[in-house]
């Protein structure tokens, strides 16, 4: 998500548990604040992808059509 699509912020994950936490709270807070900034590039990309995804599942969209074909195929092969 981070490298290939640019739809997420990189967050260091430390598998050595310190104080019962895997990732420190202040690191998570900083990452969230960076994402919610209105001029953040990740935020802009997520908005674009969200709209494309919404259109794909609406009637006439690519995912809607593919799922319909899948259901038709399943029903044809139930014998």
pLDDT tens, position by position, 6-28: 887 777 665 566 666 565 677 77
Classify the C-alpha dihedral 37-42-47-53 as positive or negative.
negative
C-alpha closest to that of 8 among 33, 45, 37: 45
Rounded Cα–Cα distance for residues 58 and 66 (Å): 12
Mean pLDDT of 64-74: 94
* 51 has pLDDT over 80: yes
Give the pLDDT score at 2.
79
Residues 6+ apart with CB under 8 A from 12: 23, 27
Between 56 and 35, the more confident residue is 56
Its pTM stands at 0.56
């Amino acid at each position: 998500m981070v490298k290939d699509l640019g739809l997420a912020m990189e967050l260091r994950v430390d598998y050595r548990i310190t104080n019962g936490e895997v990732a420190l709270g202040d690191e998570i807070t900083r990452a969230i604040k960076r994402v919610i900034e209105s001029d953040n590039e990740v935020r802009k990309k997520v908005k674009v992808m969200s709209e494309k995804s919404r259109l794909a599942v609406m009637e006439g969209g690519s995912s809607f059509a593919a799922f319909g074909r899948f259901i038709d195929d399943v029903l044809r092969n139930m014998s």
